[in-house]
Structure 1
Amino acid sequence: MHRADAHTETGVVPHDTTGTEDTLELRLTEEFLALLGDAHPEAAAGADAPALVGDPGTWSPVTTAAGAFRLVPVNPARDLAMISHWMNDPAVATFWELAGPESVTAAHLRRQLVGDGRSVPCLGVLGGTPMSYWEIYRADLDPLARHYPVRPHDTGIHLLIGGVGNRGRGVGTVLLRAVADLVLDHRPLCGRVVAEPDLRNTPSMSAFLSAGFRFCAEVDLPDKRAALMVRDRAHREHL
């Protein structure tokens, strides 16, 4: 799935449903999936476990400056109405392009939930309240990998902050750092967490930089010029 932008402090990390490069349409054989699996307990937990990213639902909650935070895998029966409401916020819809009836968001979630686990949609729960939507995905298996020097197990992050009250206060920065740390803690083969905000989106790039990501390069994606942002495992204690 190609994202058109990243807008963390105003609430969005974007998505393009119209582009020709769709992660979930890149079909992989079972043998190839086995080679790409993490080979740690989460990956072997059973047929329902998303082997390519792990299971964020088992990742421990973390204490942040904004409060206790955890990731909860999306359950459409419980979460669809809320996520669809967020997608219809004009500030979000501009970038994610998922405004409309709940069926639009449902289809977007379904493509991930019935896939091979390379992208896992989650709610971000802060202080016991769901307030953000995340996609944790295998960047090395994403069309993004065609546009930068990808490394095996590179893991990507997309973020949408749902509540207006949590935007523009530095919450995006705090949570980006927390989730990047969760990825690195629970995906031992992942050496880098990546993102691709639109170059025009200076608040988003500022949030990523403040969260310990570094600007790596400008990349031309099908519908935007993006900033490749990278948080390296080797440098995580120094940024």
Structure 2
Amino acid sequence: MSFTFRPVDPKADAPILHSWVTREYARFWGMVSATEQDVVEEYSGIAASGHHQAFLGLDDGVPAFLMERYRPGSSPLADVYEVQAGDVGMHLLVSPPSGNPQPGYTTAVMQSVMTELFADPATQRVVVEPDARNHKIHVLNQKVGFRPHGVVTLPAVDPSEDHKQGLLSFCTREDFFATLTPILAAPAAAIRGDFL
């Protein structure tokens, strides 16, 4: 596995993103009934926002996951918690496996995403607010150092719902790096200028 990131091209990447977000496993993304044009419009809006960015994660050059980074202070989160300097919001959607699932793959993706976010020295804490019913992502979040803060009410993601109940969770640099083995932590520490 060799992960890299590049900005989403809303039009060129719409077919692959549409094939991911409309599957049942991605129901908490809120786009199960979306058309390809809906995907183009969603990611064009994100690209134009100035406070929200979408990246395609590549595994040896092949699209493997979608990562969004956003400013919590410019999002609905600003109404439900006290945003701190250095907070960065994140959303993650891993593609469906093309063959047999690889044990530990999703954890490796999440570690790569967190390392990418913390590569920016301005990022002090990553903030997530996954659907409170999405137990799989809560387990993954805890593996990389997220600590639950509590359930918050946010605007609906799914058009069939009135609102979203999200599990607001935070992960500091220290909490993330503490979850890594020494082998994984070495490159991450080099990014932040530390020595192990």
The TM-score normalised by the length of structure 2 is 0.78
Q: 1:237 to 1:150 in 2, by over 3 A?
A: same
What are the Cα deviations for residues 166-210 of structure 1, in whole angstroms up to 9, with x where unaligned?
Answer: 868432222222211211122x22210010122222111000001
Between the aligned partners of 1:178 and 1:121, the Cα distance in structure 2 is 15
What is the correspondence of 1:86-235 to structure 2 with a 5 Å cutoff?
86-93=20-27, 95-97=29-31, 99-116=33-50, 118-165=51-98, 169-186=103-120, 188-222=121-155, 223-235=163-175
Structure 2 residue ranges without an equivalent (≥5)? 156-162, 180-196
The one-letter code sitting in structure 1 at the alignment partner of 2:55 is C
Give the aligned length.
171
Matched-pair identity in %: 27
Aligned-residue offset at 1:235: 3.2
| Matched position secondary structure for 1:236 | helix
The one-letter code sitting in structure 1 at the alignment partner of 2:146 is F
Question: In 2, are the aligned partners of 1:161 and 1:167 still within 8 Å (CA)?
Answer: no
RCO greater where, 1 or 2, for CA within 8 Å and sep 6 or more? 1
Between the aligned partners of 1:195 and 1:229, the Cα distance in structure 2 is 5
Aligned-residue offset at 1:136: 1.0
**1:237 matches 2:177:** yes
The runs of at least 4 aligned residues of structure 1 exceeding 3 Å deviation read: 164-170
Aligned-residue offset at 1:75: 1.4
Between the aligned partners of 1:216 and 1:192, the Cα distance in structure 2 is 13
Question: In 2, are the aligned partners of 1:170 and 1:207 still within 8 Å (CA)?
Answer: no
